[in-house]
Structure 1
């Protein structure tokens, strides 16, 4: 295990400032260590030699000053460690969120979302001890140990040789202990992930488990995982205590060898008291940083085990750039002002999940100022089409908005507003949910967006609890739809996508929502609505119908759609749109 993963410096630029400040502080601490030993030696030798107190006062005053400076440097080192841990954790969490956004639901669907949440949450908290205990000692070791050893060599080569020969004993013990520590620490982190995942899964499905009488079995499962975590934690503590004892023993024996050598030479007069005492005071300081590094190795293993999972996510996403923000300014040609009437054009668009083909070869032109209904049976590729627009999945082919290629645009895409199948609400007011991501929510715009989608009876000040509760299913869906309208108007998005927006609405409200889609399209936007509801598809101007072709993979969809307003080849024609196009 590497003490410092190079990816830490790549993904957390603030860590570089931590190491730079730590190096300066370590250099200052080393100077105070040497100065303290030298001043103490001068005072003791002077006192033994019969020097009056007045002659010792300057050295005593300097000694008090060195002690104060050393205390201040120690406090600054702790402050630097605490601040470094907080800033690095924050930066890594932002990057993880950005990476998950880049990877999209397709990637997250193959993993436990709870495990990812534990990694980015409690997992990264392990960096606190890593930064506060291990890394400061590692920096101090790299700077203080060679300087102290060189100082000892300059005063007494015999002691310098003894220290140089015995110092490697500690790294040997550290390597042996490190292998055991890394293994048990990794297992402990895995147990923590399992425990957190099991607990959150049970809490999320508790109502279903209770109805079917299975809640007691899940309680037994949580007890079993908790016991595993407790056992693994005790193993980590045993290894930590044993490692500390072994390193203390090795360092004590090494210092004892130096002390015996100095004592023998002081008796026979071959070594002066001043030199002997100075070297004897410095000898423990040569071993102390390295000994502390070994003692804190379990903290390093804990932090590295936690951060490794984060780095794997970031490596997979290639998230080395800056984190995007909701209010990103559209690049030239992305906004509606420069878009042509074609709105959204797809050329040979396709999505694959490994060997499975969601759809392929899709060619269509979706008009601005029109409502386009995307229909088809489940599994035909409708959701994958939406994910392709959002940039959540790798795609084949190209997508153009207003003639500009937007296939590889990073998220969030300023030309697109979207409301998903499920109303993902966050804790806060309705206004904060409608204007999600806007640093300065516009209450008037939010009110207009809610009114447009049939949410006139929903108050902007209405509170939503941490679980997204406080609203009915239909109200939550309208808040989600209003969020897309708000974004479309705030960023002047030329394309707006609604994924099953009326699944929780009654017939009357559904008809009202269809009129809202028409009003949004009249603003000059290409409105795309994915729906199985006949009333919604019947009110659309155009239809893009996905189909399951015969003798094909169940995830495949009809391809080969030539250019034109939703025109398709007769072999794959599934439905005629009111506007005359075929999909």
Structure 2
């Protein structure tokens, strides 16, 4: 675990200005520490020698109050700016994680990465605030205040500077030894948090089913065990932090005591004056303080650093993308051809689909069917440009799909997934259209959603929760079909549109497909049911196969 990860500068631009400010504040605070220490010694020393005057005493005291006030003000400003910078950096990283996870696609998310993304985008990165507010300022003070103040001590008393230099390595030594233990505990804590989040997400998703069969209290014990495990990991981290703090305090106290005893003995012999002795004794803790605080705050912020490291690993995972910018042909008269397309499933020796060769003609209804795991959804993902083909080609007219501008290609497609994405808000907001318009009324009538709205107390102003809570699964599907009908692009892809509908409601899907076909749209439907294949112009059967030993694609 690095004290400062340079990847923060690359992925979080707000870090750059904050670091520049820390360097400037570090230099100013160092100057104020030196001035404050000298003024205190200059006030006390003449009193001891009976050389103090009221005018000189008043001037030095006033100056000391000003210096002390300036140092307190700078500490406050540093903390306030640190909090704001931390919020900006955390917000930037969260946004980048979510965007990048979307670019990596459903395949990457399905390999156990969804829970990690959810954890990092919610609670995981919050611990990074301690890193910015407490750790980084002390780290930069270590790079500025410690060497500068040590030079002042050496100027005042070289022997004391030598003693401090000999004791200084003990602090990073203890930091390294205890830091390795803290890094392990922090990683375990984050992993436990992800497991707990995964269990809770699964529980919330399946809670209606569990409640329906009277088993809603079943997962209670498991969730409680995970919660206790998370609490134990957190306490282990705190235990190491307290241990680190105690060790660092002991080293600092021992070093200060050695310097103070040496100064005291030499002052008795007259080898050093009171002014120099006081300055050295008071500066010794200030020389050690930044390094000591770095050790203490490092363990307090280790959880955030561990989370940031996981974020960087996600951001450094290269998604599939192409930078081609060829224009998309007119899709009203351009066929889509799969030329011996095979796609190797990641992490498995399965090719799905395998050697798919077919043509999707414009203005027709094409149904893709096959057994579970045969590659139906993978075929659509490849057609959307979300994943690359392992071998073969997808041709749009005479142009390979990988050579087209992907954003322009997406503008030609309306995609209705098996589980439509609905946001918290009203039905009208999810529809993103004027519910009073004739187009919406016509579309809602065809999909049967008009009947659903008529039975709701607030009609189109009815509010739904996250994921469409408040509507049944079939009603959510009808809402998605209504939206697709009023905003349909030339190509419409429907992923199992009747999967959650009964036989009566399935008739509405058939009406939607016929309406789109009559309007000249190209429809690609993933379906199992015979009702969907009966209305198709062409049915494409996809199949998978195991990869042969040594086979190259």
- With normalisation by structure 2, the TM-score equals 0.86
- Determine the structure 1 residue equivalent to 2:528: 532
- Determine the structure 2 residue equivalent to 1:543: 538
Distance change >3 Å, CA 467–CA 367, structure 1 → 2: closer
- Determine the structure 2 residue equivalent to 1:159: 160
1:147 aligns with 2:148: yes
Q: 1:503 aligns with which of 493, 499, 502?
A: 499
| CA distance in structure 2 between the aligned counterparts of 1:92 and 1:290, rounded to whole angstroms | 28
Q: 1:456 aligns with which of 450, 453, 473?
A: 450
The 5-angstrom pairing of residues 179-328 of structure 1 reads 179-209=180-210, 217-317=218-318
Distance change >3 Å, CA 125–CA 450, structure 1 → 2: farther
| CA distance in structure 1 between the aligned counterparts of 2:474 and 2:366, rounded to whole angstroms | 23
Deviation at 1:352, TM superposition (A): 1.6
Distance change >3 Å, CA 376–CA 320, structure 1 → 2: closer
Of stretches 374-383 and 442-451 in structure 1, the one that deviates more from structure 2 is 442-451
| 8 Å Cα contact 1:376/1:547 also seen in 2 | yes
Distance change >3 Å, CA 289–CA 519, structure 1 → 2: same
In the TM superposition, what whole-angstrom CA distance separates every residue of 1:406-451 from its partner, at most 9, and x where no partner exists?
437667943432110123322112233233xxxxx76658677655
1:359 aligns with 2:345: no
| 8 Å Cα contact 1:450/1:456 also seen in 2 | yes
| 8 Å Cα contact 1:495/1:526 also seen in 2 | yes
Q: 2:420 aligns with which of 402, 409, 423?
A: 423
The 5-angstrom pairing of residues 378-417 of structure 1 reads 378-396=372-390, 397-401=392-396, 405-407=400-402, 413-417=410-414
- Determine the structure 1 residue equivalent to 2:53: 52
| CA distance in structure 1 between the aligned counterparts of 2:272 and 2:356, rounded to whole angstroms | 89
- Aligned residue for 1:109, secondary structure, equals helix
| CA distance in structure 2 between the aligned counterparts of 1:12 and 1:449, rounded to whole angstroms | 45
| CA distance in structure 2 between the aligned counterparts of 1:319 and 1:133, rounded to whole angstroms | 39
| CA distance in structure 1 between the aligned counterparts of 2:498 and 2:176, rounded to whole angstroms | 62
Deviation at 1:51, TM superposition (A): 3.1
The 5-angstrom pairing of residues 33-72 of structure 1 reads 33-48=33-48, 49-72=50-73
| 8 Å Cα contact 2:533/2:539 also seen in 1 | no
1:372 aligns with 2:372: no
Deviation at 1:499, TM superposition (A): 0.9
Distance change >3 Å, CA 239–CA 378, structure 1 → 2: closer
- Aligned residue for 1:528, secondary structure, equals strand
- Determine the structure 2 residue equivalent to 1:333: 327
- Determine the structure 2 residue equivalent to 1:476: 476
| CA distance in structure 1 between the aligned counterparts of 2:427 and 2:270, rounded to whole angstroms | 86
Deviation at 1:511, TM superposition (A): 4.2
1:20 aligns with 2:20: yes
| 8 Å Cα contact 1:423/1:476 also seen in 2 | yes
| CA distance in structure 1 between the aligned counterparts of 2:512 and 2:496, rounded to whole angstroms | 15
- Aligned residue for 2:148, secondary structure, equals helix
- Determine the structure 2 residue equivalent to 1:87: 88
| 8 Å Cα contact 1:381/1:546 also seen in 2 | no
- Determine the structure 1 residue equivalent to 2:107: 106
- Determine the structure 2 residue equivalent to 1:576: none
| CA distance in structure 1 between the aligned counterparts of 2:164 and 2:241, rounded to whole angstroms | 25
- Determine the structure 2 residue equivalent to 1:11: 11
> Which residues of structure 1 form unaligned runs of 5+?
322-329, 436-440, 556-583
Distance change >3 Å, CA 202–CA 511, structure 1 → 2: closer
Of stretches 204-213 and 366-375 in structure 1, the one that deviates more from structure 2 is 204-213
- Aligned residue for 2:219, secondary structure, equals helix
Of stretches 417-426 and 503-512 in structure 1, the one that deviates more from structure 2 is 503-512
In the TM superposition, what whole-angstrom CA distance separates every residue of 1:474-514 from its partner, at most 9, and x where no partner exists?
321022223444654xxxx4432111223334556544444
Q: Say what the alpha-carbon RMSD is for the aligned residues.
A: 3.2
| 8 Å Cα contact 1:341/1:368 also seen in 2 | yes
- Aligned residue for 1:349, secondary structure, equals strand
Deviation at 1:136, TM superposition (A): 2.0
| CA distance in structure 2 between the aligned counterparts of 1:485 and 1:369, rounded to whole angstroms | 15
- Aligned residue for 2:8, secondary structure, equals helix
> Which residues of structure 2 form unaligned runs of 5+?
454-458, 549-553
- With normalisation by structure 1, the TM-score equals 0.82
Distance change >3 Å, CA 32–CA 453, structure 1 → 2: farther
Deviation at 1:305, TM superposition (A): 2.0
In the TM superposition, what whole-angstrom CA distance separates every residue of 1:522-557 from its partner, at most 9, and x where no partner exists?
6554332222333333334x32412447xx4499xx
| 8 Å Cα contact 1:333/1:402 also seen in 2 | no
